[in-house]
């Protein structure tokens, strides 16, 4: 068990950097620095220079942390995005159907009313989800994150989440509800995730919140919820391993 020379924290054998304060655990890098990364496809905004990112060795960083749910702008934004796209897609499907129904303007007015009702239902669902986050999860979610040469990983460490996922599946089977089973299975499949660096096309860093958003060409793959103790090291590793990705934001 290596101990951190900076903070004294206990670290697992595979760690090359302290999971608590981010300091290097060894004088020499246990894992050799990777090959110089290819030049970034896009100009990185606010990114440190190439020399700065490769001056320190790369390695492995992993940590367990709790992140906020209802009072977290990223969670709220992701939820709002899902509901917005759901509403938009339903509108795009519904308006032509309403128009083709023959009643013309009257039918369209009916559809506008339906859309208004649908918006109210969506708002109620958002409120319900926020209530679940606050009441059931206590507005926090414990998870384990990993950054290494192969990619990044995430694992749910919230027992409530894993139990509720299993409960949804069992309740769905007992109640013959395919929807509940499906929801439980989808949630279970998200309990552990791994993304190789080759899939990463864009990175957006949010040092104010110690969050790093890792994206492919069109969506967020991962949100790395770091701690103030390891954020700088996590950002450095992401910049190092995802060297081909466009990075926006940052400490620099």
Partner 1 sequence: MIALIQRLLLLGGLCAAAWDFTYSPPQLVAARAIDAKAEYLKRYGPVPRYRFGAMGAAEALIRQETNPGSVEAYRAGLFKRTVAADPSWPAGLVADLVAAAKGGGPYAERFAKSYVYFAAGEPLFAGIAPQLRESLKKTGYLNAYCETGGRDMEFMYHAEPHSSSAPVGVLFPQRGRAWLWVAGTLGAYLLLLPLTRGSGAHHDLAALAALDLLCAFPAAFFFGLPFRVCDSTQAALDDPLGGPVWSWAVTAVLALALIGLARRAAWRLEVDGQTLKLSTLFGTQQIPLSAIARVALHEAGEGNDFSGIDIRLADGRVVAVDWTGLADFLPIFDYFRRYGVLQAKPATNLS
Which CB atom, from 70 or from 203, has the smaller least distance to partner 1? 70
Check binding of 239 to partner 1 (CB under 8 A): no
Helix (H) / strand (E) containing 51: helix 50-55
Size of the site for partner 1 (CB under 8 A): 43
Taking CB under 8 A as the criterion, the residue among 73, 86, 113, 117 binding partner 1 is 73
What count of other Cβ atoms lies within 10 Å of the Cβ of residue 105?
A: 9
Q: Per rule CB under 8 A, is residue 208 in the interface with partner 1? A: yes
**Residue 17 β-bridge partners:** 24
Please report, to the nearest 10 degrees, the dihedral formed by the alpha carbons of residues 79, 85, 90, 95 taken in order. Answer: 140
- State yes or no: residue 149 binds partner 1 (CB under 8 A): no
Phi-psi region of 211 (alpha: psi -120 to 50; beta: other; left: phi over 0): beta
Token reading at 87: 């509403």
Output the smallest distance, CB 185 to partner 1, in A.
26
Q: How far is the CB of 76 from partner 1 (least distance, A)?
A: 5
Q: What is the DSSP string of 123-147?
A: HHHHHHHHHIIIIITTTEEEEEEEE
Position among 30, 48, 57, 68 found at the interface with partner 1 (CB under 8 A): 68
- Give yes or no for residue 7 binding partner 1 (CB under 8 A): yes
Stretch that binds partner 1, among 68-76, 166-174, 197-205, 239-247 (CB under 8 A): 68-76
User: Of 41, 5, 38, 48, nearest to 23 (Cα)?
Assistant: 5
Give residues in contact with partner 1 (CB under 8 A). 4, 7-12, 15, 19-21, 62-68, 70-73, 76, 123-124, 126-127, 130, 134, 138-140, 142, 144, 157, 207-210, 227-229, 231
């Amino acid at each position: 068990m290596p101990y951190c020379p900076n903070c004294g924290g206990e670290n697992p054998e595979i760690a090359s950097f302290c999971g608590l304060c981010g300091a290097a655990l060894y004088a020499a890098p246990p894992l050799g620095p990777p090959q110089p990364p290819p030049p970034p496809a896009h100009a990185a905004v606010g990114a440190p220079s190439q020399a700065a990112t490769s001056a320190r060795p790369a390695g492995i960083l992993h940590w367990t942390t709790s992140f906020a749910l209802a009072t977290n702008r990223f969670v709220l934004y992701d939820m709002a995005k899902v509901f917005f796209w759901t509403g938009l897609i339903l509108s795009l499907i519904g308006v032509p159907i309403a128009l083709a129904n023959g009643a013309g303007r009257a039918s369209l007015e009916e559809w506008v009313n339906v859309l208004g009702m649908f918006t109210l239902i969506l708002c109620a669902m958002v409120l319900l989800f926020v209530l679940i986050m606050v009441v059931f999860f206590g507005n926090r979610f414990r998870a384990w994150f990993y950054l290494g040469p192969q990619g990044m990983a995430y694992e749910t460490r919230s027992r409530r989440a894993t139990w509720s996922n299993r409960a949804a599946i069992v309740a769905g089977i007992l109640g013959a509800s395919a929807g509940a089973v499906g929801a439980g299975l989808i949630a279970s499949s998200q309990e552990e995730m791994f993304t190789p660096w080759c899939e990463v096309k864009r990175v957006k860093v949010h040092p104010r919140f110690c969050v790093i958003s890792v994206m492919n060409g069109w969506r967020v793959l991962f949100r790395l919820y770091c701690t103030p103790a390891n954020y700088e090291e996590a950002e450095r590793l992401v910049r190092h391993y995802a060297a081909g990705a466009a990075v926006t934001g940052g400490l620099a």
